[in-house]
Amino acid sequence: MELKRIIEAILFISPKPVRLKKLFRKLEGHTFEDIERSVNELKNEYNYSDRALEIVEVSGGYQIRTKISYREWVKRFVKERDAGLTRSMLETLSIVAYKQPITKREIDNVRGVDSARMMKQLLERRLIEIAGRNGDLGRKIVFRTTGKFLELYGLKDIGDLPTFKEIESLEQ
């Protein structure tokens, strides 16, 4: 019972998602299984109660967030974090997200224009990162999205991105 409340306090004060491995490293004397069980019990307590908050798995960790149904009320009091991305940056970021790992040349081919400036800005904002080099001749640098990208868009992992069919159904 005490472990659950300790984890709840940690999730409450943390500005970023907290990974189970980090909890295990920091909460000496507790097994990984006890920590995982406590987090799952907390998730159930929050998600299946009449609270305005929920515990969500995002970017490989856990975070306490306001339930989406209270978003409009909360926006009146708290300025929403604006990612400040231009249309060109969003386009480039979307291409990286759906086609990663991907080279700059491949991004340029999809967009039809040079993406160097957009990629530089996305790298500076830590929404994309260098993922290594591909196996092609010349071993070009490839890019992927980051944990910060997942956190900003509330995704557990890249598999949570909407499919093209889901996007098309929204447009209808």
Please give the residue that has the higher pLDDT: either 95 or 139: 95
pLDDT-based confidence at residue 77 (cuts at 50, 70, 90): confident
Residue partners of 42: CB distance under 8 A and separation at least 6? 4, 7, 8, 11, 55
pLDDT of residue 1: 64
Gap between the Cα atoms of 6 and 27, Å rounded: 9
Domains along the chain with CATH numbers:
2-75 (1.10.10.10), 87-171 (1.10.10.10)
pLDDT-based confidence at residue 75 (cuts at 50, 70, 90): confident
pLDDT of residue 62: 95
Arithmetic mean of pLDDT over the chain: 89
pLDDT-based confidence at residue 79 (cuts at 50, 70, 90): low
Pairing of strands 61-66, 102-103: unpaired
% residues pLDDT > 70 (the chain): 95
How many CB atoms sit inside 10 A of residue 52's CB? 11
Most confident of 19-33, 59-73, 122-136: 19-33
pLDDT of residue 68: 84
pLDDT of residue 154: 82
For residue range 33-56, what is the model confidence (pLDDT) as tens digits? 999 999 999 999 998 888 899 999
Three-class secondary structure of residue 44 per DSSP = helix
Three-class secondary structure of residue 131 per DSSP = strand
For residue range 104-162, what is the model confidence (pLDDT) as tens digits? 999 999 998 999 999 999 999 999 999 998 877 778 899 999 998 998 888 888 988 88
Please give the residue that has the higher pLDDT: either 32 or 1: 32
pLDDT at 168 over 80: no
